[in-house]
Amino acid sequence: MVKAAAVVPAAGTGSRMGAQVPKQYLLLAGIPLLGHALKVLDTSPVIQSIVLVAAAGEEEFCRKNVVEELGIRKIKAIVTGGRERQDSVYSGILALSPETDLVVIHDGARPLLSPAELLAVVEAAARHGAATLAAPVKDTVKMAGRDGLVAQTLPRERLWLTQTPQAFQRSLILRAHLAAREANHLGTDDAGLVERLGHPVKIVPGSYRNIKVTTPEDLIIASALLASPLPNDKKNDK
């Protein structure tokens, strides 16, 4: 079986959530969002170790109130995050063993990842060097000009909502981050940094259930999804 190490960025402030604590520590069914994400990685046979990236000053809180409280066993290190998510992921990658082959990067605010989806992304990365979980776009997407007028209607059948986890060969994702830092380029996800190198990224169809909790509405949706598991989720229903 393919083996990988995971980097979990959880250093964001969650400003759009408008809560008194960072969103990764908000409770979902009595467990922090971050805890749900870590439990899937910790119990997966394909994940050998986890590097958790916490905000400066939150490292010990994270260790005591999430890692130790939930009995997460595979944590290799808790490192301090940077100003941007990209900086945090880079710090996490540097903390991995140089012998790591595949790196899985998963947002700490995505609590509903399934074990099957995790395995599928890792296996795809082992074959292609880079892979990302994604769900097909359901709505019509329009591109607007600076004047606010529609410039183009994009072909929905070719559009995907990118998720995490994303998985890469360690040497490839490290090279992608180094190239981005050298160019002072700030991407919106790690797959985009790899794309800048000209390396293809394999899309692995995922579930609409694997949402990123960013706003108060997302937390309500996640709570409903967690309470109503749908094993036959029609993830490709457009």
Burial class (CB in 10 A: 0-12, 13-18, 19+), 85: buried
What does the block give as tokens for 151? 């410039």
Q: Hey, what's the torsion of the CAs at 52, 55, 60, 62, to 10 degrees?
A: -60
Mean pLDDT value across residues 127-137 = 98
Q: How far is CA 104 from the centre of its chain?
A: 8
Q: pLDDT tier at 13 (50, 70, 90 boundaries)?
A: low
Handedness of CA 25, 210, 215, 5 (dihedral sign): positive
Judge if pTM exceeds 0.85. Answer: yes
Q: What is the pLDDT, as a whole number, of residue 236?
A: 45
Burial class (CB in 10 A: 0-12, 13-18, 19+), 76: middle
16-57 residue pLDDT tens: 555 567 789 999 999 999 999 999 999 999 999 999 999 999
Q: Which domains does the chain have, with CATH numbers?
A: 4-227 (3.90.550.10)
